[in-house]
């Protein structure tokens, strides 16, 4: 986790530099896409669990409203990306935080065209510019990961097969339930590695794009807590 957060902060610094040079965002966001709830409805809670943190805040998503809004997001790396789209994302304290976002595909154009309903986005916080987000919207729901100097927030579906109700939780303050919990069994006093010549908090100004082909068995794809039970192939 510590390594993940360190790398995440490096990415945050790089993204902040990119977004900091952009023109003001489109000041339009779907205020009604997310509804803050006191709790998830009992009927939904009784379903097959997906992500069930001990501490979280519940939200209801208007998927149609969010889908329509995200169609306005400019594509990363284009001239229109100088005017990112402003959206709201659920936070663990029950608030909606604003982010300026662009569409950031992680698939090659031909593969993206094959699966047009799988979309991924990148953004930077408005109220908190040190916070950066990656999120997706697909047939298996909405998933977000927000990294900042003092938080690591996830937004995930609450129940498998239900795309309307979500939890927002900070993994630094919580862990998922016992079924998903894990323990580090590495003994203390391991080998000491020589320090590398790097600058803490910096991931560099050069963006590198890699081609990747990944295969896995069905059982391994179903094992991850944050992975859907079925994925397109």
> What are the counts of helices (DSSP H) followed by strands (DSSP E) for the chain?
5, 9
Supply the pLDDT for residue 230.
Answer: 45
Supply the pLDDT for residue 214.
Answer: 72
Residue 8 CA to residue 10 CA, distance in Å, equals 5
> Could you tell me the pTM of the whole model?
0.69
Supply the pLDDT for residue 212.
Answer: 74
Residue 70 CA to residue 74 CA, distance in Å, equals 9
Supply the pLDDT for residue 223.
Answer: 44
Q: Residue 156 pairs with which residues in a beta bridge? A: 167
Burial class (CB in 10 A: 0-12, 13-18, 19+), 205: exposed
Burial class (CB in 10 A: 0-12, 13-18, 19+), 114: exposed
Supply the pLDDT for residue 149.
Answer: 87
pLDDT mean for each 10 residues of the chain (233 residues): 40 48 52 88 91 90 95 94 95 95 91 93 93 94 92 93 94 60 67 56 64 66 47 47
Residue 164 CA to residue 168 CA, distance in Å, equals 13
């Amino acid at each position: 986790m510590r390594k993940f957060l360190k790398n995440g902060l490096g990415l945050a610094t790089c993204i902040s530099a990119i977004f900091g040079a952009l023109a003001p965002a489109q000041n339009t966001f779907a205020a009604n896409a997310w509804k803050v709830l006191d709790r998830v409805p009992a009927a939904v809670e009784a379903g097959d669990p997906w992500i069930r943190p001990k501490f979280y805040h519940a939200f209801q998503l208007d998927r149609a409203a969010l889908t329509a809004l995200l169609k306005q997001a400019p594509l990363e790396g284009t001239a229109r990306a100088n005017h990112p789209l402003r959206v709201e994302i659920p936070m663990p304290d029950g608030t909606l935080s604003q982010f300026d976002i662009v569409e950031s595909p992680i698939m090659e154009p031909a593969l993206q065209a094959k699966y047009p309903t799988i979309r991924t986005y990148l953004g930077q916080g408005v109220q908190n510019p040190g916070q950066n987000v990656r999120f997706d919207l697909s047939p298996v729901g909405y998933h977000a990961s927000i990294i900042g100097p003092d938080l690591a927030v996830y937004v995930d579906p609450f129940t498998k097969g239900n795309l309307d109700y979500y939890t927002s939780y900070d993994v630094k303050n919580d862990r998922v339930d016992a079924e998903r919990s894990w323990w580090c069994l590495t003994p203390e006093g391991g080998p000491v590695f020589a320090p590398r010549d790097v600058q803490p908090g910096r991931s560099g100004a050069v963006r590198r794009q890699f081609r990747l082909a990944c295969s896995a068995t069905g059982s391994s794809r179903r094992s991850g807590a944050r992975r859907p039970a079925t994925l397109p192939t």
